[in-house]
Amino acid sequence: MKRILFLCTGNSARSQLAEALMRHMCRDSTATIDKFEIMSAGMAPESVDPRVYEVLNYYNVNSDNLTSVLASSLQNQHFDVVITLCDKASKECALFPDSDALIHWDFKDPKPQSGSQGFYDVFDGLKAKIALFLMLNGDNQSDTIGAVELFKIMSDPLRLRILMLIHDELALSVGDLTKALQVSQPKVSRHLALLRDSGVLHDQREGVWIFYHFPPDLPLWIRHIFDTVRNGQPALINQEKIRLSAIKNRKKPQSINSIIE
């Protein structure tokens, strides 16, 4: 079980909303309900702002047992992830030097604002951040490749286009890629070998054909990056897609599902 700590200055608004909301979202997901222990604390704790309860009650999020905690009282405990929610708190990460990960989500303090709208805005922003965090961390992730290695691989234009083509087509052969990319077979093969050896691609033989595809256990954070690049740069492989569609009698795997499942 991973221990998550939300850290803020007063532990009276943002971090309380984050603690309650993340617990609620974990309960809604059987994949994550037993994977996280969630707490919050403050550098200079204050009483929980009544508007926190208003927002949580409006969204039917359990607000029981919320209490302000002094961050220094927890400094001898280990937290897998410490998430700071304001700039002041981000400077106090030294309290938890053995944490596996330190993350900063900066949210404007809603307390000085009149009314409750600022609290609703923080709730909405936290919901999006927490949803992404749970999506990428909710299940056990394999150590396929690190971020530095991944971006080195993607920095090569040819390898990036190979990845985006396989993203769309699910599985492609060396011949398909050679014709779509209009580069030599040895060059394509060298890049495919690098991608395979890094764990980003798997290969599978069907008869005389070898198809390349993403492995089933490719970490979600990597898939998310590929999705973002593909949708953010939709014209990146236009010509390659046109050439691919023009290839007559193009071989396809007998069962793409058997490759990707």
- Active-site residue list: 8, 86, 93
Copy the structure tokens of residue 49.
């702002």
Helices (H) and strands (E) in the chain, counts: 11, 7
Q: How far apart are CA 166 and CA 202, in angstroms?
A: 11
Copy the structure tokens of residue 251.
């071989």
CB atoms within 10 A of CB 152: 13
Q: How far apart are CA 193 and CA 212, in angstroms?
A: 10
Q: How far apart are CA 242 and CA 235, in angstroms?
A: 11
Strands 81-84 and 36-42: unpaired
